[in-house]
Amino acid sequence: MQFDNCVQVIVFVRLNVQSPATNLPKTRTRINRPTIAHPLTNSIHPQEGTHAVLFIILKLIHLISIVIWVGGMFFAHFFLRPALQELEAPVRVKLMRDVLGRFFSVVLILVLLVLLSGIGLIGAVHGMAAKAGAQFTMPLSWIVMSVLGLIMMAVFGHIRFALYKRLNNAVEANDWAAGGAALGSIRKWVAFNLALGLVIIAAMRFPLG
């Protein structure tokens, strides 16, 4: 196609159209959430709620108490008792009376800490579930640990207030045969409690259901 006597004008029009919104300065909305010091590291983390912080503290107390209790039984049963077998009966029985007396005094405190922190953990989780509008159902692992833990506490009560009293009376009367018999009974029940404690630790590490 030919175009005679026509002036072809090519006009380049550059439209620089900007939306009014793009001319506005960019702003970022920042939500200032309350912060708290983390109970373990003292660093600042977003507020997770009172129940969550309480759960962390109680769980730490619970775990440390169980580890000290079970670890003490493991040491006494597998290391201390065999090492003292070469001693004469009067020395061995009296030494075990003194060692167990100190250990049982600490375990009394640990039992209270385990019991109270366990109840607190259940309450804290129940509170978090209620706050989220959910229904709390205790996990199977928690049920197993609770039942075994109560059995351990009952067994320890028998050891501390019955068998250890028998051991102490035998030492005071210089009746080393009776003291040895009391130690034998304590050893059996400590072994039973140790087995339960190891099952509880396994349930903590490998949750059931």
**pLDDT tens digit at each of 209 positions of the chain:** 433 433 333 333 333 434 444 444 444 444 444 333 333 333 333 335 677 888 899 999 999 999 999 999 999 999 999 999 999 999 999 999 999 999 999 999 999 999 999 999 999 888 888 888 888 888 898 999 999 999 999 999 999 999 999 999 999 999 999 999 999 999 999 999 999 999 999 988 887 76
As for how many domains the chain has, the answer is: 1
Residues 96 and 127: beta-carbon distance below 8 Å: no
Residues 34 and 47: beta-carbon distance below 8 Å: yes
What one-character DSSP code corresponds to residue 35?
A: E
Entry pTM: 0.75
N-terminal to C-terminal alpha carbon distance within the chain: 84
Question: 37 - beta bridge partners?
Answer: 44
Q: Which long-range contacts (CB under 8 A, 24 or more apart) does 136-144 make?
A: 139/207, 139/208, 139/209, 140/207, 140/208, 140/209, 141/203, 141/204, 141/207, 141/208, 141/209, 144/199, 144/200, 144/203, 144/208
Asked if the structure places residue 13 within a domain, the reply is no
What is the domain extent for residue 100? 48-205
Q: What is the pLDDT of residue 35?
A: 36
Q: Which helix or strand (DSSP H or E) is residue 44 part of?
A: strand 44-46
Asked if the structure places residue 24 within a domain, the reply is no
Asked if the structure places residue 42 within a domain, the reply is no
What one-character DSSP code corresponds to residue 5?
A: T
Asked if the structure places residue 32 within a domain, the reply is no
